Structure 1
Amino acid sequence: MIIYKESKKQFIADVFNDCIEEKINNQMIEKMHRHTGKAEYRSWANSMQYMYKVMDTDSIPDDVDVAIEYRIPNSNKRVDFIVAGEGENGEENAVVIELKQWQSAQRVTDKNGLVRTILGGSLRETTHPSYQAWSYVSMIQDYNEDVRKYHIDLEPCTYLHNYIRTENDPLLDRIYYYYTRRAPVFMRGDALKLREYITKYIKKANNKTLYEIEFGRIKPSKSLQDTMVNLLAGKEEFKLIDEQKVIFEQVLSLAKLNDNKKRTVIIHGGPGTGKSVLAINLLAKTMGELASNSMYVTKNMAPRSVYSEKLQDGNYRKTTIDNLFKGSGSFIDTPSNFFDSLFIDEAHRLNGKSGLYSNKGENQVKELINAAKLSVFFVDDHQQVTLKDIGSTEEIMKWANFYHTSIYEYTLASQFRCNGSDGYLNWIDDVLEVQPTANDVFDLDYDVRVYDDPNEVYQEVLKHNDNNKARMVAGYCWNWIKDGKGDSSVHDIEIPEFDFGMSWNLGSTSTWAIDKDSVSEIGCIHTCQGLEFDYVGVIIGDDMRYEDGHIVTDFTKRATTDQSLRGIKKLYKEHPEEALKKADRIIKNTYRTLLTRGQKGCFIFCTDKALSQYLKMRLDNK
C-alpha cells in the first residue's frame, strides 16, 4: 500500500502550494483509517521541503513516479520516499529514501549496526539509518515476487536533512561501512549529491515499476521452521528490523559479558512480532560467535518437534538436536549457572511442577533462572492457554529478584504476521474483549472473512494451501475419539447441520504443522501455538458465543478430553467467580492465538450464529 502516489511534477506543485502534508494525512485517513500525530505531521511538512529541493530539477523527468509512505508487505513498516522509473538501458529502478529528522548521533562500538540519538526526548540506541534503509529494501525484495521477477533494482539511501556533518562524523565511522556502502548517507547540504544519486538510476518514467512494487504478488514468506538449518549454520535468513535488531544486539552484548553475574531478560511481544525468530537468531549467534553453552527452551512440543524434523533433514545428528532444544521441564536438577545462556520461547506456557503427572520439580521459572547466567524469556501474557500456565511477567520478575539477578525488559512492537496489520490484532483484542480499546475503527489490511458454513472455510484453506502452508484449527470443543487417533477418516469434529466432519490432527505424529497431508486434519491450540502458516481456517466452537452485547465463554462446552481447564470444575464449586474469570481468560487467549496463526489470511466459522453475525458486523464497521 502506498499512501501518497503522484508524478514528480505534481509532488513539486503540492510542496510549493504548502498542501503536501495535508494530502498525505487525508490519504492516511482514507487508506489506513488512522489520524496522524502532530510529530509525524510536522515531519512531513519539514522533510518534503528538503525533498522538493532535491527533486526540483530538469534532470529528473516530470513524469517519474513519487511515492510517500509505502507500507512494506507482511509488516507494519513504512518506507518514507520512493522515486521510481527506468535506468539508462530501460531497466526498472527505484531509489528508496529513508528520511530522518536527526540533528546528532553517537557511535555504539560494542553493538553491530547501532547508534545513539535523541528519540522521544531521551538518548536511545537505535539502528543506524543505513542499516534501516538497507533492511527495509531487503524485506521488500524478500516478500515481493514481482520485484524479483522483473529484476527491479531497489537502491536504498538515507537523508538526514537537519544533520550537520562533523569531522570524523560518528555516522560515517568505518565500523558502519558495511551498511553505509549499501545505503549511502546524505546530510544537511547534500541535496545536490542526493539528486545526483537519484539521477544515476532514474533516467525516465516507467509507470510499471511503482505499480509492481505496490501490487506485486506477495510470495509465501519464509517461515522459521523452513529456515532453521541455515540459521543455525550462521546464514542470515531474516533481516532483523528496527527494535528486533536493537534488542538482538543488546541481549548479545549481555551474553558477551564474562563476569559470572546472573542476568534476566524479559522480552515482551504479541503474535507475529518475531519472538521465535529472535530467540533462534540469538541461539545461533551465541553458539557460533561466542562458542557459548546455549540452549533454546520451550514448553510447547509442537515447535520443538517441527524444528527437530527440519534439522534432521539438514543432516544434524539427533544428539546435537537434543542438546539444542529442550522442554521446560528438563532443568529440575541442573546445577546453578550450568548454562551460559538459555533462550526461553513461549515463556508464558511455563508450568509450576514438571513431569507427566506434574509431580516433579518446584517451579520451572525458578529452575530456568537458576540454571543459567543469562536467562532470556520471550513472553506474551495474553497467550496463557491452560490453568497450569504460570509464566507471566510477574512470575518471572519474582524469581529474578529471588536470585538477585539484574533485570532487563524490552518490547517487540513491530508486526510481521497477519500481513503486518496492527489493526487486525487490535481488532481481535477488542472484539474478544481481551484488551478493549476506545477506538472502534481499525485498519484491517488483512484477508479475514467470516463464513456461515464450515465446509466453505475448509475449501478456502484447500484453495490457499500453496507449498503446504494452510491449515484448519479449532477450539477444543470436540473429544478425541480414542480409536481414531491415527485415522483421518474418523471424524472427531462433526457439525451435522452442515454435513461437516474432520479429524483432529493425528496422534501418530508430532509434526502436524509440516506433514504433507495435514491439511485434511484440524489442529488444536497445542499443535499450532508457536508456529505460523500462510492461511488459517478457524472453527470457533460452543465455548464462546455472543449474547447481551458481550462475548461470553462457557467452559462446560469444552471437550472432556481437554486438559487445558483441568481442575476448573472443582475450583468452580469452591470459588465460582475466580473459576469463571480464569476460564474466560484462557478461552479468549486460546482463540486469540488461533486467530493470529495466519500470515496472509484467516477464515472463520462460528458454531454460535449470534457470534458469527457480530463478527461480520464488526468487520463491516472496521
Structure 2
Amino acid sequence: MVEQAATAPAHFGITGSGLGHTPHAEGRVACVASGRAGELAARLDDPSFLAQCAARYTAVGFGVPGDSEVRSWRNSWPPVLRALVRAGLSDVWVYLEYGTPGGGRRLDVLLVGARPGGALGLVVVELKQWQSCRVLDAERVLRADGVVTAHPVFQVAAYRSFFRHWRPEEAPELDVRAVVLLHNATAEEAAVVRVGAGAVADIPVLSGADLAAPAEDLAGLLRCEGLSTPGVAEVRAFEGIRWEPSGRLLDHVGTILEGHSAFALVGDQQDAFVRIRAAAARYLPGRGVPAGRSGVEGRGGAGAVITVRGGPGSGKTALAVRLLGRLMLDHPAARPRFLTPSGTLRAHLLDAVSGHGAARELFPSITSLRSAARQAGALIIDEAQRVTRGGANGLPRNLAEVVGQVPLAVVFLDERQVIRPDEGITVEEIRDAARRLGRVHHHLELTGSFRCAGSAAYTAWVDDLLYGTPRPWRGQDTYQLGLATDPFELQRWVEQATGAGHSARITAGFCWLWTRHRPRGATTLPLDITIDTPAGPDTPARTWRAAWNAATALTHPDDGRPLAPHNQLWASHTGGHQQIGCVYTAQGLEYQHSGVIIGPDLTWTNGRWTAHPQQSRDETLRHLPADQYLRYALNIYRVLLTRGTHTTRIHSTDPHTHHHLTQLIKPR
C-alpha cells in the first residue's frame, strides 16, 4: 500500500500551480496530463477532460490528435488508472502521454513513486487495446486485424532504456521498470506476447483478467512493489532532471557511426572534417569535463556557426554523420544532436543505430529544433535548405534561435535542393544572422563528387541540362547514362539489376495521385501511376501501371512477410524496387542504379524548359504560377537525376522532351 502524503493538484502539462511550475512551453516535461492517480481517475467522468488533453497534446508539440488517438485514451486510461486506485496506489504520480526530451518518443503512461534513500521508482506502462496476436520475431507481432506492429515488450524496453541511459550523474537514482497492459486480452492471449528470456524477461504482459486480481496482488503485478507516495519535492526533482546521454551511450553510438562504411571520408570531406574538429576543440568542452550548463557554454567565446555547402553526392551527409560520431567521442559534455528536415534521412540514421534503443533522442525531429538547442551544446543540421522559412531577420525563426544560442552549430545545405516555396535558406543569410548575433562564422565548400562514380562530369551535365545550355553526354568517364524508350523497359532494367544483387530504384515526378490509405490486410498497393505508351514496331499500345512507395510498411497478412518497406526506408529495404519513389523519399539517399521518369509537369518546349504546375499532384506546388513552379521542378528533377552511384536511365512521358533527350544521350 502507498503511504499517505500531502498531495499536489492534478494539472495539465507542467502548468499546475501545486508544484510552482513555469509555463509548459518553456518547461522540461511534455505530456497531456499529470497528477495523482486517484485524482486523474476521478476526472475520467468529466466530459471536458479528454478535450483538455487533446488541446494540451497540440500545445506541447505532439501535433493534432486524431479520432483514433482520443478513442484510445477513452478506452485505455480507465483500466490502468482504476487498477492503480484499487491497488492502493492512488497517490503515485502519473504522466499520461509523456514525451521524452527532443520528441523522440511518447510513452502511454509513466508512473513515478518514491524509493528508500532518496531514489525514485519509475514504471513505464505500454497500453494496447488489441487482444490476440502472433509473434513474428523479436521485434514484430501480427495483430488479429492483419496489421504488423512493434512487439510491445521490446517497445517498452526501449522506453525503459532511455531513462537508464540518459540520467545525468547528479540526478536522483532511478529504479526503472516496465509493464505491458493488454486490457482487452484474456490471460491466454497475453501469454502469447510474453518474452521469457534475455534482457526483457522481467517485463510482464498483463491481461484484463490480471487487473481483476485481489487488490493486495495488483501493486506487484503492475511493477509498483516497494513504491511509496512521492512528495512535491520528489516530483519536482524528477521534472527538473536535465536528461542527457550517458558517456557509455555516446561511446557506443559514436563508435558505430565512426566505423560505418557508408560514412567513410575522402578528399575535401576529410579536410572539412579536420577543420570542423578544430573549431569544436575551441568552442566545446573536451572529454572529462563535467556535464551541466557550464559544459555547453564554450571555451573560446560566444560560439561559432559553420556552414558547409555542397552539391549532390559531395558527401555532406557522410561528413555530417561522421562529425556527430566524433563529437560524441571527443566532446560528450556538449551533448551533440543531429537534426534534419528530411524524415527519410532521419529514418535511415535511426535504422543505422537501431541496435541501441536509447539512441533515438540523439536524432530529434526538426520540429524540436528549439528544444534541442536548449539541451545541446553542439548541433549538426543536415539538408538545412529544407528548414521551413517564416522567421525574423530573413532566417527561419527556429534556425535563428539556434544560431544565437548553441556554442557550435554546423549547417549543411545545397541551395539548389530547395523543393517547396516555404523552404530555402542561403549561406549568406546564415552568415549575416551569425554576425548580428555575435557568432563567428566559417564557411566550407565540398566540391568533390562521391556518388555518381565520382563523376564530376555527370553532375555538371545535369546542371547544364536543367539550368544552363544542355549539351550532349560524351560518356568520357566511368558513369553510365542512358535512355529508356518506355517505363516497361525501365522496369525490366531495375528488376534485372536487383536480381543480380544490386540496389536499383525508379523515381518519378509527383504527377500522379498517391493513395495514402489501403484496406487492412491488403497485400498490394494501389497502382496509381499510369502511363500510356504508343505502339512500336514490335509492341502494341500499352498502359504501364505502378505503385508509389508505401505510406506504411506492407506485410503479408498471414505470416507478416515484408512485401514493401515504409516509404522512408524505400530506398534501402527489401521490396522497394517494386514501388516508385518521389523526391521526398529519395532526397539525401543513393542507390547503384537510378531510373528517372520525368513527368508531364516539366517539358522541353521551344528550346527551353516549361513548367506545367497543373500536372503536379503536390498540393504545396500545383497552384503556383508556372514561372515560380519551374524553379522547384528543376530542383526536384536535379535531386532525382543524381541519386545513382553507377548508372542513370531516363524516360520522359512527353514525346517532344524525350526526343530532345535522344539528341543529348546517344544509345549505348
Distance 1:240 1:445 in 2: 21
* Other-structure match for 2:452: 418
Give, as a single letter, the amino acid of the residue that structure 2 aligns with 1:422: A
* Cα contact 2:312–2:642 (8 A) shared by 1: yes
Whether the 8 Å CA contact 1:427–1:442 is kept in 2: the answer is no
Q: In the alignment, what sits opposite 2:275?
A: 250
CA distance in 1, matches of 2:493, 2:306: 41
* Residue matched to 1:614: 660
Out of 409-418 and 465-474, give the one that drifted further. 465-474
1:608 and 1:362, CA in 2 relative to 1: closer, same or farther beyond 3 A? closer
Task: Give the whole-Å Cα distance in 2 for the aligned partners of 1:501 and 1:438.
Answer: 32
Larger RCO, structure (CA 8 Å, separation 6 or more) = 1
Question: Equivalents in 2 of 1:458, 1:547: separation in Å?
Answer: 27
Counterpart Cα distance in 2 of 1:605 and 1:439: 16
- The answer to whether structure 1 residue 518 and structure 2 residue 579 are counterparts is no
Q: Indicate which of 363, 367, 371 corresponds to 1:325.
A: 363
Instruction: Tell me the residue number matched to 1:504.
Output: 548
Secondary structure in structure 1 of the residue aligned to 2:550: coil
Corresponding letter in the other structure for 2:314: T
Partner of 1:339: 376
Partner of 1:17: none
Q: 1:249 to 1:482 in 2, by over 3 A?
A: closer
Counterparts in 2 of 1:401 and 1:230: CA distance versus 1, 3 Å: closer
Q: Judging changes above 3 Å, is the alpha-carbon distance between structure 1 residues 564 and 467 closer, same or farther for their aligned structure 2 residues?
A: farther
Note the C-alpha offset of 1:298: 0.4
Tell me, yes or no, if structure 1 residue 590 matches structure 2 residue 648: no
CA distance in 2, matches of 1:492, 1:439: 34
Paired residue for 2:531? 495
Q: Distance in 1 between matches of 2:640 and 2:345?
A: 15
Q: CA deviation at 1:615?
A: 1.4
2:411 is matched with which residue? 377
The answer on whether the counterparts of 2:472 and 2:663 sit within 8 Å (CA) in structure 1 is: no
> How far apart are residue 445 of structure 1 and its match?
3.3
2:369 counterpart letter in structure 1: F
What residue is the counterpart of 1:455 in the other structure? Answer: 488
TM-score normalised to the size of structure 2? 0.52
Once the two structures are superposed, the pairs formed by residues 123-162 of structure 1 within 5 Å of their partners are none
Q: Contact (CA 8 Å) 1:478, 1:558: kept in 2 or not?
A: yes
Partner of 2:259: 235
With over 3 angstroms needed to count, the CA separation of the structure-2 counterparts of 1:581 and 1:445, relative to structure 1, is: farther
Q: Which amino acid aligns with 1:332?
A: R
What pairs up with 1:48-447 in 2 under 5 angstroms?
A: 232=256, 234-235=258-259, 237=261, 238-257=263-282, 258-291=299-332, 292-312=334-354, 315-317=355-357, 319-321=358-360, 323-333=361-371, 338-352=375-389, 363-432=397-466, 434-436=467-469, 443=476, 445-447=478-480
Q: Distance in 2 between matches of 1:256 and 1:274?
A: 23
Instruction: Show structure 1 runs of 5+ residues with no match.
Output: 1-227, 355-360, 573-579
Tell me how many residue pairs correspond in the alignment: 371
**What residue in structure 1 maps to residue 76 of structure 2?**
none
CA deviations 1:318-362 (Å, max 9, x no partner) are x322x22123221235566x42211111111111259xxxxxx96
Secondary structure of the residue aligned to 1:537 is strand
- Gap change, CA 1:267 and 1:609, over 3 Å in 2: same
Q: Partner residue of 2:621?
A: 565
Q: Aligned equivalents of 1:289 and 1:344: distance in 2?
A: 19
Question: What SS is found at the alignment partner of 1:464?
Answer: helix
Moved more, 597-606 or 258-267: 258-267
Distance 1:470 1:440 in 2: 22
Distance 1:375 1:553, change over 3 A: same
Give the whole-Å Cα distance in 2 for the aligned partners of 1:512 and 1:340. 33
CA distance in 2, matches of 1:599, 1:335: 35
Distance in 2, matches of 1:479 and 1:398, equals 41
2:470 and 2:253 map into 1 onto residues whose CA distance is: 41
* Contact 2:404 2:434 (8 Å CA) reproduced: no
Match of residue 190 from structure 1: none
Cross-structure match for 2:612: 554
Contact 1:299–1:347 under 8 Å retained in 2: yes
Any conservation in 1 of the 2:302–2:407 contact (CA below 8 Å)? yes
1:590, distance to aligned residue in structure 2 (A): 0.2
Match of 1:80 in 2: none
| CA deviation vs aligned residue, 1:406-461 (integer Å, no higher than 9, x gap) | 111111111111111111111111111x2448998674531111112101001111
Q: What is the Cα deviation at residue 402 of structure 1? A: 2.8
Task: Write the distance in 2 (CA, Å) between the matches of 1:304 and 1:619.
Answer: 35
Q: 1:543 to 1:494 in 2, by over 3 A?
A: same
1:527 to 562, 585, 593: 585
In structure 2, do the counterparts of structure 1 residues 438 and 455 end up closer, same or farther at CA, with 3 Å as the change threshold?
closer
**Secondary structure of the structure 2 residue equivalent to 1:326:** coil
Task: Give the fraction of aligned pairs with identical amino acids, expressed as a percent.
Answer: 27
2:373 and 2:379 in contact (8 A); partners too: no
Which SS does the other structure have where 1:261 is aligned?
Answer: coil
- Pairing partner for 1:536 from 588, 594, 598: 594
Match of 1:34 in 2: none
CA RMSD of aligned residues (A): 2.7
Greater gyration radius: 2
CA distance in 1, matches of 2:366, 2:339: 6
Change in 2 beyond 3 A, CA 1:417/1:478: same
Give the letter aligned to residue 336 of structure 2: S
- Local SS of the residue matching 1:250: helix
**Deviation (angstroms), 1:621:** 11
The separation in 1 between residues aligned to 2:595 and 2:639, in whole angstroms, is: 13
Please state whether the residue corresponding to 1:602 is helix, strand or coil: strand
User: What corresponds to 2:291 in structure 1?
Assistant: none
Distance in 1 separating the partners of 2:597 and 2:364: 31
